[in-house]
Structure 1
Amino acid sequence: MYKFLIIVIVTLVKNIYTQDIGNPCTHARSNSPGLCKLLTQCKEIRDEIVIFQKLPQTCGFQETQPIVCCPNPQRSGSISETKCREYTSHTKEKQLCGHNIVKRIVEGKPAGRTEFPHMALLGFPMGNPDNFQWLCGGSLISEQYILTVAHCLTSGVVGEPKVVWLGITNLNDTNHKQEIKIAKNIVHPEYKNTSHYHDIALVKLDKPIETNSYVRPACLHTQLEIPVKKVVATGWGLTRYAGDSSQDLLKVTLNIVEYDFCNRNYLDTRKLREGIIYDMQICTGGSYPQQGDTCQGDTGGPIQIYNNDSCMYDVIGVISFGKSCSGGPSVNTRVSHYIKWIENIVWLENGQ
Structure 2
Amino acid sequence: MVWFSGDLPKDYEDVAIISGIFSMILQNQWTVASGSSNRTPRHDGRAFAHNMTTLHIVSALVATYMCFVQGQSPCTTPNGVTGQCININECKDLLAILDNPQRTKEEIELLRRSHCGFADKVPMVCCPQIAPPLDRRCFTYEGKEGTCLGLYSCPSIMGLLNPPVSKDNLSYVQVSRCESPDRYSVCCGPDGAVPPAPGKEAICTLTAAPPDPRTECCGLDSGGGNRIFGGNVTAIDQYPWLTLIEYRGVRDDRIKLLCGGALISGQYVLTAAHCVVGPVLNSGTPVNVRLGEYDVRFSGSDCVQVEGGGTDCTDPVVTIPIERTIPHKDYNPSAKLRRNDIALLRLAQMAPYTDFIRPICLPTMDITLDTMTNIRLEVAGWGAISDTESFSNLKLHVDLPLATKQQCEPYYAQRQVPLWDGQICAGGEKGKDSCKGDSGGPLMNENGKLWEVVGVVSFGPTPCGMENIPGVYTKVYDYLPWIRTQIKP
TM-score by length of structure 1 reads 0.73
The question of 1:16 aligning with 2:91 is answered no
User: Where does residue 170 of structure 1 map in the other structure?
Assistant: 295
State whether residues 114 and 214 of structure 1, in contact with CA within 8 Å, keep that contact through their aligned partners in structure 2: yes
Gap change, CA 1:72 and 1:131, over 3 Å in 2: closer
Give the unaligned 5+ runs of structure 1: 1-7, 48-69
State whether residues 154 and 160 of structure 1, in contact with CA within 8 Å, keep that contact through their aligned partners in structure 2: no
User: Where does residue 83 of structure 1 map in the other structure?
Assistant: 212
Q: 1:276 aligns with which of 419, 431, 441?
A: 419
Give the C-alpha shift of residue 71 in structure 1: 7.1
Q: Distance in 1 between matches of 2:272 and 2:455?
A: 10
Q: 2:268 aligns with which of 128, 133, 145?
A: 145
Q: 1:179 aligns with which of 302, 319, 322?
A: 319
Q: 2:351 aligns with which of 197, 201, 209?
A: 209
User: Where does residue 261 of structure 1 map in the other structure?
Assistant: 407
Say which one has the larger Rg: 2
User: Where does residue 58 of structure 1 map in the other structure?
Assistant: none
Q: 1:96 aligns with which of 219, 222, 228?
A: 222
Compare relative contact order (CA 8 Å, sep 6+) and give the higher one, 1 or 2.
1
State whether residues 199 and 333 of structure 1, in contact with CA within 8 Å, keep that contact through their aligned partners in structure 2: yes
More displaced stretch, 13-22 vs 222-231: 13-22
Deviations 1:218-273 (A, max 9, x none): 00113223546100000101112353310011100001112112001111334x3x
The question of 1:313 aligning with 2:438 is answered no
State whether residues 121 and 137 of structure 1, in contact with CA within 8 Å, keep that contact through their aligned partners in structure 2: yes
User: Where does residue 116 of structure 2 map in the other structure?
Assistant: none
State whether residues 254 and 284 of structure 1, in contact with CA within 8 Å, keep that contact through their aligned partners in structure 2: yes
Q: Distance in 1 between matches of 2:212 and 2:485?
A: 13
Give the C-alpha shift of residue 17 in structure 1: 6.2
Q: Distance in 2 between matches of 1:220 and 1:36?
A: 21
Give the aligned residue type for 1:334: K
State whether residues 266 and 359 of structure 2, in contact with CA within 8 Å, keep that contact through their aligned partners in structure 1: yes
SS at 2:262's partner residue?
A: strand
User: Where does residue 335 of structure 1 map in the other structure?
Assistant: 476
The question of 1:294 aligning with 2:445 is answered no
Q: 2:245 aligns with which of 122, 132, 139?
A: 122
Gap change, CA 1:90 and 1:138, over 3 Å in 2: closer
User: Where does residue 11 of structure 2 map in the other structure?
Assistant: none
Deviations 1:62-111 (A, max 9, x none): xxxxxxxx976769xx998862334x2489xx8934478x8xx3232111
State whether residues 241 and 295 of structure 1, in contact with CA within 8 Å, keep that contact through their aligned partners in structure 2: no
Q: Distance in 1 between matches of 2:273 and 2:221?
A: 35
Say which structure is richer in strand.
1
Q: Distance in 1 between matches of 2:151 and 2:214?
A: 31
State whether residues 150 and 201 of structure 1, in contact with CA within 8 Å, keep that contact through their aligned partners in structure 2: yes
Q: Distance in 2 between matches of 1:255 and 1:72?
A: 33
SS at 2:407's partner residue?
A: helix
SS at 2:413's partner residue?
A: coil
State whether residues 292 and 317 of structure 2, in contact with CA within 8 Å, keep that contact through their aligned partners in structure 1: yes
Aligned CA-pair RMSD:
3.7
User: Where does residue 77 of structure 2 map in the other structure?
Assistant: none
More displaced stretch, 200-209 vs 28-37: 28-37
Q: Distance in 2 between matches of 1:114 and 1:18?
A: 61
Gap change, CA 1:116 and 1:44, over 3 Å in 2: closer
SS at 2:419's partner residue?
A: coil
Give the C-alpha shift of residue 158 in structure 1: 2.1
State whether residues 390 and 436 of structure 2, in contact with CA within 8 Å, keep that contact through their aligned partners in structure 1: no
SS at 1:212's partner residue?
A: coil
User: Where does residue 161 of structure 1 map in the other structure?
Assistant: 286
Give the unaligned 5+ runs of structure 2: 1-41, 46-92, 101-110, 112-121, 139-144, 154-177, 190-194, 196-207, 302-315
User: Where does residue 465 of structure 2 map in the other structure?
Assistant: 326
Q: Distance in 2 between matches of 1:45 and 1:153?
A: 25
More displaced stretch, 172-181 vs 297-306: 172-181
Give the C-alpha shift of residue 197 in structure 1: 0.6
The question of 1:345 aligning with 2:468 is answered no
TM-score by length of structure 2 reads 0.54
Give the C-alpha shift of residue 189 in structure 1: 1.2
Q: Distance in 1 between matches of 2:383 and 2:390?
A: 8
Q: 2:387 aligns with which of 229, 233, 241?
A: 241
Q: How many residues align?
A: 299
Give the aligned residue type for 2:99: T
